[in-house]
Structures are given as structure tokens and as C-alpha cells.
Amino acid sequence: MTMTPAELEDQEPTLELLNSELASRLVRQSDSLAKIDTKAVFLIGFAATAAQFLATHEHQSVLAYLALTAYAIALAAGVETFRVADHKDLEPRPTLDSHARSPKGRVLIELAATRVSIFEENQQRHQRKAKCWTVSLWSLTVGLVLSTAALVLHT
């Protein structure tokens, strides 16, 4: 859809509002991604500690090996959470180079379109990180239940 310069100028307040909302939504998305990473760190640390505790105490072997397997899955899924690519954002130099001489309305439309694309790409990463974290959490939970059973049944 092409607009005349007058139509673009008339739409500038709306485009500014849209860009402001899209920019703040990208900030919230980035914050959410960082929170998932933080939660993954705690899960990894807890799984590693629990595995070490189980390994250094007498236990029922089969349940202990199953628990250690669950801890290994929790650790791997936690690490996979970090492996997912970084949060995307606007690239300053290309944005400046491609829009410096454009009219304000045109720049606002292109910025909004770019932000929507970035958000959608980040959303896929967000969903993958969340799935990896969920696998890590459930594996840790299973490991803790099996560890407890392995330690209790040994006594």
C-alpha cells in the first residue's frame, strides 16, 4: 500500500504511537527472554547439586541411575535454553543508512514493519527457550522424586 506524502503526514501521529508501542513490546520481550535464562541458571545449579548429593550417598541403584538420568536431561535442557540465539533488535547503522533521507512518515512505516518482523523472529526463540526450560523443570522434578525414593528405599 502506497500513500501520498500528504497521507503519510496525516498518519504520522498514529505511526508514532504504533512505533512507540512496538518498541516497548520489544523491550518487554527481551526482558522475558532474560528471565527465562535466569530461571534456567537456577535449574542447572540445582540439578547439578542434587546429582552430586545423590552420587555421594548410599542409594538404591536402579532408582539412583534413573534419577541421575533425569538430572542429566535437566542439565542438558537448561544448557539448551542458553544455546538458543540471542534476542534480535534493530541494527543501528543499516537503519540510519537506509532511512536518513526518507520522509518521517515513510521511516515510521518501515520501522514499524521491521519491529514486527523482529518481534516475530524473537517470538520463535522465546517459545523454544520456554519449552527447553519446561523440559528442564520437569526433568529436575522427576529426578528429585526418584532421588528421594532411591535414598529412602536404601535405608
Q: Indicate whether 4 pLDDT > 80.
A: no
Dihedral sign, Cα of residue 7, residue 90, residue 80, residue 25: negative
List the domain boundaries for the chain. 15-154
pTM: 0.79
Alpha helices in the chain (DSSP H): 5-55, 61-83, 92-99, 104-154
Mind listing the pLDDT tens digit for each residue in 30-84? Answer: 898 889 989 999 999 999 999 999 999 988 899 999 999 999 999 999 999 887 6
- The cell for 50 is 542434587
